[in-house]
Each structure stands twice: as C-alpha cells, then as structure tokens.
C-alpha cells in the first residue's frame, strides 16, 4: 500500500510543479506584453534612469541608508511617548 501511495504522491508533486511553472510562465509573458522587456540592469530602461551596474560603493551606501530598518517605526513611537523629564519619585 505504501508503494501505491508513493507513486500517487509523486504524480501529484510533478503535476503541481508543472502547473505552477506554467502559471509563472504565463504571468511572465503577460507582464512582458503589457510592460515591455525592461530590465533594471540595462542603461536607460528602468524609468529613464541609468544602470545600477556603474554605481560605486558610496552610491550604494547612500541609497541603502535611506531604507527603513526593521523596528524603526516602533523606536520612533517609543521616543515620541517617552517622558520629557527624568524625575524620580
């Protein structure tokens, strides 16, 4: 009985993989038809900007420094609720 179950599970897995691969291929084709074949790594293709291949480490650090980190909202909220004085009772 275990052998028949294994063959059925294998067939189900192959079917699921084929179905998801065909769905991703259809989605990619649809997006390419509607949006064109723009690439973020080709110069002038992504929103008229230049390629990011030529960015220096300083440029990358400058851009990455503006990305919010996990917990930034919570720390800002806690700072705004903190008491203004440091009095002890």
pLDDT tens digits for range 60-79? 888 888 788 888 888 888 88
Q: What integer pLDDT is reported at residue 5 of this predicted model? A: 81
Residue 1 scores a pLDDT above 90: no
Q: What is the mean pLDDT of residues 10-30?
A: 94
Q: Which of 11-20, 33-42, 47-56, 65-74 has the highest mean pLDDT?
A: 11-20
Per-residue exposure over 64-83, b if at least 16 CB sit within 10 Å of its own CB, e if not:
eeeeeeeeeeeeeeeeeeee
Q: What integer pLDDT is reported at residue 20 of this predicted model? A: 97
């Amino acid at each position: 009985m275990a052998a028949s179950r294994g063959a059925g599970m294998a067939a189900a897995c192959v079917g699921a993989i084929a179905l998801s691969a065909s769905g991703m291929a259809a989605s990619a084709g649809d997006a390419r038809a509607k949006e064109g074949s723009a690439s973020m790594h080709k110069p002038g293709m992504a929103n008229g900007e230049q390629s990011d291949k030529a960015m220096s480490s300083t440029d990358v650090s400058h851009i990455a420094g503006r990305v919010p980190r996990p917990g930034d909202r919570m720390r800002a909220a806690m700072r705004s609720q903190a008491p203004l004085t440091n009095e002890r009772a």
